[in-house]
């Protein structure tokens, strides 16, 4: 289940894009089904059926015009699980220091949601 959600940034490219940080209770928990709606000029994103963890962001006039035109929002979601192993005291060196190193995988998800106005 979702512990908390936060909209970190909302921007415009071809459509309205919202970056969302989602904190999960357990790494094996896959119960996340986002829904997006606009009430007035406030974008609200919540998990389906759960009102407790909803997050909102106030949109400006240009963002509202794009949202009304497309009636959809693209979500870029980054998942985290906090406190699973306690506090990390001894950190290992960053493995992506070399010139041929690869970037570490980050749990992320992109989706396009319909907006209910």
pLDDT per residue over 53-97, tens digit each? 899 999 999 999 999 999 999 999 998 876 655 555 666 666 666
83 in Cβ contact with 23 (< 8 Å): no
pLDDT at 89: 64
Q: What angle do CA 56, 67, 63 make, to 5 degrees?
A: 70
Helices (H) and strands (E) in the chain, counts: 1, 7
What is the tens place of the pLDDT at every residue in 3-25?
A: 889 999 999 999 999 999 998 88
What predicted TM-score, i.e. pTM, was given to this entire model? 0.78
pLDDT at 67: 94
Rounded CA gap, 5 and 18, in Å?
Answer: 12
What is the tens place of the pLDDT at every residue in 26-38?
A: 877 778 899 999 9
pLDDT band at 42 (very low <50, low <70, confident <90, very high): very high
């Amino acid at each position: 289940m979702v512990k908390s959600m936060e909209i970190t940034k909302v921007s415009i490219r071809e459509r309205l894009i919202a970056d969302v940080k989602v904190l999960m209770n357990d790494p094996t928990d896959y119960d996340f089904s986002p829904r997006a709606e606009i009430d007035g000029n406030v974008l609200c994103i919540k998990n389906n059926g759960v009102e407790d963890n909803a997050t909102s962001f106030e949109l400006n006039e240009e963002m509202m015009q794009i949202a009304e035109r497309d009636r959809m929002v693209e979500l870029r979601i980054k998942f985290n699980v906090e406190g699973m192993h306690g506090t990390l005291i001894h950190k290992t060196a960053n493995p992506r220091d070399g010139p041929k190193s690869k970037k570490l995988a980050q749990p992320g998800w992109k989706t396009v949601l319909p907006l209910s106005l």
